[in-house]
Amino acid sequence: MNVDLGNTIETTPGLTDETLDRLDDRVAAAHDRIVAGMEADEFGYAALTLPETTDPEAIRAVMDQFDRPAAVLTVGIGGSALGAAAISNALESDVDAHFLDNVDPDAVDALLADLPLAETVVNVVSKSGTTAETLANFLVVREAMAEAGVDWTERTIVTTGEEGNLRSLADEHGLPALDVPDGVPGRFSALSTVGLVVPALQGHDIEAVLAGGRDGMDALAGSLYESPAYAYGAATYALAERGALTNAVMPYAESLETFAEWFAQLWAESLGKDGLGQTPARALGATDQHSQLQLYRAGPPDKIVSLIRPTERADTTIPETDLDGLAYLGGSSLADLLDAEFAATEASLAAADVPNIRVEIERVDERSLGELLYGMEAACVLYGELASISTFTQPAVEWGKKAARGLLGGGDFPEADAVADKRELRIEQS
Amino acid sequence: MNVDLGNTIETTPGLTDETLDRLDDRVAAAHDRIVAGMEADEFGYAALTLPETTDPEAIRAVMDQFDRPAAVLTVGIGGSALGAAAISNALESDVDAHFLDNVDPDAVDALLADLPLAETVVNVVSKSGTTAETLANFLVVREAMAEAGVDWTERTIVTTGEEGNLRSLADEHGLPALDVPDGVPGRFSALSTVGLVVPALQGHDIEAVLAGGRDGMDALAGSLYESPAYAYGAATYALAERGALTNAVMPYAESLETFAEWFAQLWAESLGKDGLGQTPARALGATDQHSQLQLYRAGPPDKIVSLIRPTERADTTIPETDLDGLAYLGGSSLADLLDAEFAATEASLAAADVPNIRVEIERVDERSLGELLYGMEAACVLYGELASISTFTQPAVEWGKKAARGLLGGGDFPEADAVADKRELRIEQS
């Protein structure tokens, strides 16, 4: 992962070379703190050691108990699904990956009606084993398998903590079970069993994903000028302090669309605290040049745009044409066009003084993905250190969970009472 | 479409009942301006008359020239694709709809390799007939059809303006051609030929979509208290003025995910001007409760959350379970769970003084979709009036188009020269 901060200098909001120099002393101190946390296996910091602590053999050993399936269905929500989805959706495979990460009955029914259940591996992921959405979906999936005459105990993998419902279920039915790593919040678990089971079942090279993560780990250093991940984290932090409260993440590769979702979770849930944080807005190049770019260029000066691109990609030549005024396209290629759009967007933002950062990976493959995911996690941890934020907790998420549980009759929670207090001001269509 | 503004009163930022009362005089004046624009068929305002001016028979007449296809492939970008996608992706059909709305060679190749080209209808959409991405993709698709031995002239529909490349192509090869309506920017064209060809080919009731639009049209009135669309537009405008520069749109239905993308285009491209506007952030309930909600609840107070839900939906019972602590789920349903999550999120935001608006539609069907799309367009136009913004133009998008064209050798554009001036500050992974 390479990072170019050139277009954050003297923009609005913007940095100067001197800002970055001053910030670099704090980066050195934060790096020491991060390394100490990694060495002591502290909660959260442990995530940054996953490229070394994750055992791909344990994943392969479980995988080898299954014939190559037609599909993998992951039942999990939030961090239990998005890391796997970011890797899986970036890479081509003849094994389809699906994710039940919501409790929408229409979507669940439509998916189950289409899936070849007898040739599907079900991958249930919940650290606590009590996540309501995940368990409810799993109960529905299990029943659908039974109704289809499929023995669910033969086709289910569980990834969970050392104790809890899913662990008991695995013990009871002899299901293959993998451990969720200790001390790693879900949104930081892409490079563990949580993120790697699906790609492994799809035939991807998970050792290369981890090697890419190790490359990222080796590149951490006590200066933002020596570490692309820290350069990204430090610049986004400093820009947020100066008013860039939105970070629009715009990959120029459709295969990285889910990566942008994963990033949005990482950034929002880790840094959105104490009135601080930066709202991740997801965009896609070149598509969103035709819409979001208007706002980024001419709207409120409260944004940084992160332009992400692979420097190599497959290509498709555009056929020659005699269509009026389009001869210039013929003989060129779709990749040329996409690269020109990238350069045009970058220049367009710079010309309007909108700060933007270029993030490059070599190509969309296992190794580069590992590097990119690791790099953004390290960037996020650094940002949290610089902002003195509790990066690895999510207290505001817990409130809603209690309210929902109370509403469903799952216990007595004062949070549920607030629902009845809602003030109404309804405007109805007559 | 019903709107509940109760949770925007005395939040941070927030409104008061008096704010809304004062604003209502301006809503009345803006409504007069909008109605005058509709009556005079003025540029942009004409979009709000589409439910009456769009002729579904013209679309059906073209459709009837084709046997029911296996798939429809739309080649178009931005407003030429998103309206159709928002409707199509919300509804179930056995005719698959695909959208080539980017120029990513990997994605184009993967799609063309999978499509049954002989049973696919290709729907090319570009008002000018010169959009580089659309024409480049179309040239590639046309060649792929030829290589597969499919006569593309038998399987292509064109939706375009009265003149230009695509019109000439249609004339030359006798292709069925539909008119893009005059005076309607792409992002406002969902309820025209541009948005309705795909749903029609998929067997959906486009007359019901238009009827829903007419319901929305009939509900426009000179007071925000009488018009849900204006209530939404006026409240989001007033909140933006008070610091809510992000509008997080969170449907509680997976089928509305593309609607949220469509909304993001509408909002960003129409209102992101003169340093004003509101950044649309896309979220999905309940999934993003496990991530984005942390930021919305505890991050900077610069947000309004728009919670969108159908009041009726299909349902799936959760099987009974003896799993520890989960008995409360058994016998309940996925819809109960999703509704509880919705109520919990709404209360969670309100308890933290984060403004949020509830937008309800009856169910996800043709008529309600027409109503929702129309309502949000009217809300956007009202917001633009209140902010004195040029809602129907997109000057910042044009800059990048010229730069890209210049880079590709398609003419001499000074914008392209700016690309070479990029300031570099690269941090590379060693």
pLDDT at B330: 86
The chain-wide mean pLDDT, for chain A, equals: 96
pLDDT of A377-386, one tens digit each?
999 999 999 9
Confidence band of A327 (pLDDT split at 50, 70, 90) = confident
- What are B404's two structure tokens? 């890209």
CB of A70 within 8 Å of any CB in chain B?
A: no
Residue A273 has φ and ψ, to the nearest 5°, of -150, 155
Cα separation, B144 vs B122, in Å, equals 12
| Among B389, B427, B428, B430, the residue to mutate for chain A (most A Cβ within 10 A) | B427
User: Which residues on chain B are in Cβ contact (under 8 Å) with A249?
Assistant: none
Residue A66: half-sphere exposure toward Cβ, Cα within 13 Å: 30
Paired sense of beta strands B96-100 and B71-75, if any: parallel
Identify the helix (H) or strand (E) that includes residue A83. Answer: helix A82-88
Q: Is the dihedral of CA B320, A119, A85, A307 positive or negative?
A: negative
pLDDT of A284-311, one tens digit each?
999 999 899 999 999 999 999 999 999 9
Percent helix, strand, coil in chain B (nearest 5)? 50, 15, 35
| Among B108, B429, B430, the residue to mutate for chain A (most A Cβ within 10 A) | B429
Name residues of chain B where pLDDT drops below 50. none
pLDDT at A430: 72
Taking Cα atoms as reference points, which of A51, A91, A58 lies closest to residue A157?
Answer: A58
Three-state SS for A124?
strand
For residue B151, the 8-state DSSP code is -
- What are A86's two structure tokens? 């970011």
pLDDT at B98: 98
> Cβ B313–A264 below 8 Å, yes or no?
no
Task: Identify residue A169 by its one-letter amino acid code.
Answer: L
- Angle at A313 (CA atoms; ends A307, A319), nearest 5 degrees: 110
Identify the helix (H) or strand (E) that includes residue A99. Answer: strand A96-100
Q: How large is the average pLDDT for residues A176-185?
A: 96
> Cβ B139–A415 below 8 Å, yes or no?
no
pLDDT at A330: 86
Taking Cα atoms as reference points, which of B259, B11, B282, B233 lies closest to residue A246?
Answer: B282
Q: Quick check: A325 pLDDT over 90?
A: no
> Cβ A293–B400 below 8 Å, yes or no?
yes
- Angle at A423 (CA atoms; ends A420, A425), nearest 5 degrees: 135
**Between the CA of residue A350 and those of A278, A298, A299, A360, B142, what are the distances in Å?**
21, 12, 14, 18, 37
Confidence band of A274 (pLDDT split at 50, 70, 90) = very high
Taking Cα atoms as reference points, which of B126, B159, B129, B153 lies closest to residue B141?
Answer: B153
Residue B291 has φ and ψ, to the nearest 5°, of -155, -70
Residue A95 — left, alpha, or beta (φ > 0 → left; ψ -120 to 50 → alpha)? Answer: beta
Residue B194 has φ and ψ, to the nearest 5°, of -60, -40
| Among B134, B271, B294, the residue to mutate for chain A (most A Cβ within 10 A) | B294
pLDDT of B224-245, one tens digit each?
999 999 999 999 999 999 999 9
Could you give the domains of chain B? 2-36+210-386 (3.40.50.10490), 55-180 (3.40.50.10490)
CB contact at 8 A, B336 and B350: no
Length of chain A: 430
CB of B226 within 8 Å of any CB in chain A?
A: yes
Residues 387-426 of B with CB under 8 A from A: 394-397, 399-401, 403-405, 407-411, 415-416, 418-419, 421-426
R_g over Cα of chain B: 23
Q: Catalytic amino acids of B?
A: 269, 290, 401
Taking Cα atoms as reference points, which of B283, B323, B339, B306 lies closest to residue A404?
Answer: B339
pLDDT of A393-430, one tens digit each?
999 988 988 999 999 998 999 999 999 889 999 999 97
**Chain-centre distance of CA A251, in angstroms?**
13
Q: Quick check: A322 pLDDT over 90?
A: no
* Beta carbons within 8 Å of A147's beta carbon, 6+ residues apart: none
* Beta carbons within 8 Å of B382's beta carbon, 6+ residues apart: B27, B30, B31, B34, B229, B230, B233, B234, B237
> Cβ B419–A343 below 8 Å, yes or no?
yes
CB contact at 8 A, A370 and A213: yes
Q: How large is the average pLDDT for residues A104-131?
A: 95
pLDDT at B290: 85
User: Which residues on chain B are in Cβ contact (under 8 Å) with A78?
Assistant: 287, 290-291
CB of B313 within 8 Å of any CB in chain A?
A: yes
Count the neighbouring beta carbons within 10 Å of the beta carbon of residue A311.
Answer: 11
Taking Cα atoms as reference points, which of B177, B168, B84, B77 lies closest to residue B126?
Answer: B77
> Cβ A295–B271 below 8 Å, yes or no?
yes
> Cβ A318–B140 below 8 Å, yes or no?
yes
- How close are the terminal C-alpha atoms of chain B, in Å? 55
> Cβ B295–A316 below 8 Å, yes or no?
no
CB of B163 within 8 Å of any CB in chain A?
A: no
Shortest Cα–Cα distance, A221 to chain B (Å): 11
pLDDT at A290: 85
B120 DSSP β-pair partners: B71
User: Which residues on chain A are in Cβ contact (under 8 Å) with B14?
Assistant: none
pLDDT of B261-294, one tens digit each?
999 999 999 999 999 999 999 999 999 998 999 9
Residues 168-197 of A with CB under 8 A from B: 168-169, 187
pLDDT at B63: 92
ipTM metric: 0.96
Cα separation, A296 vs A345, in Å, equals 10
User: Which residues on chain B are in Cβ contact (under 8 Å) with A286?
Assistant: 77, 102-103, 133
pLDDT at A334: 95
pLDDT at B430: 73
Residues 82-101 of B with CB under 8 A from A: 82, 92, 101
Nearest CA in chain B to A423: B6
Cα separation, A368 vs A214, in Å, equals 11
pLDDT at A326: 84
